[in-house]
Amino acid sequence: MALLPILRYPDPRLHKVAAPVAVVDDRIRQLVSDMAETMYDAPGVGLAATQVDVHERVIVIDVSEDGDDLRVLINPEILWASEERQVYEEGCLSVPGIYDKVERAAQIRARALDRDGKSYEFEADGLLAVCVQHEIDHLDGKVFVEYLSRLKQDRIRNRLRKQERELSKV
């Protein structure tokens, strides 16, 4: 397993739309293992392949308290989303140190392939529903800050660019 570098907003590669995985093979299973290790190390509760500059539809999620409930979603799709909405304060490994409120569907039903390529469906609410929607957005080339006002987006972009400049001086 290996830790993968995580792209940081506003990197344009975060806006690439991920392609469906044609075959779940050893290469994809290795990607899943590396992504899980990267997510846990960061630490985070979700990671999309887009964030590690792999533009295929692969997500890892673990919203458990103990970090012992890894979910693998390959070619995920939302089959149904409730009309009821919820607001959660979201953060993102690609937008370090930034948190803001985003409104999303309160409940979803989704379908994906697991790490063995078997199709499964599940329902989710709360943090898991938020996380699935957030990570699928990454696969579709969207970062959570794009739900915020243009002013907030500009401030976040400028703050992260400043952090990058300061880090490169060290």
Query: Is 138 assigned a ligand-binding role in the annotation?
Result: yes
Which residues are registered as beta bridge partners of 120? 112
User: For this structure, is 77 an active site residue?
Assistant: no
Q: For residues 136 and 71, what is the distance between their CA atoms, to the nearest angstrom?
A: 14
Query: Is 131 assigned a ligand-binding role in the annotation?
Result: no
pLDDT of residue 164: 83
Q: For residues 84 and 81, what is the distance between their CA atoms, to the nearest angstrom?
A: 8
The pTM assigned to this predicted structure is: 0.95
Domains in the chain with CATH codes: 12-168 (3.90.45.10)
What are 112-146's pLDDT values in tens digits? 999 999 999 999 999 999 999 999 999 999 999 99
**Catalytic residue (choose from 56, 89, 103, 135):** 135
**3-class SS string, the chain:** CCCCCCCCCCCHHHHCCCECCCCCCHHHHHHHHHHHHHHHHCCCCEEEHHHHCCCECEEEECCCCCCCCCEEEEEEEEEEECCCEEEEEEEECCEEEEEEEEEEECEEEEEEECCCCCEEEEEEEHHHHHHHHHHHHHHCCCCHHHHCCHHHHHHHHHHHHHHHHHHHHC
- When pLDDT is cut at 50, 70 and 90, the band that residue 39 belongs to is very high
Region 6-23 average pLDDT: 96
What are 66-82's pLDDT values in tens digits? 999 999 999 999 999 99
What are 92-107's pLDDT values in tens digits? 999 999 999 999 999 9
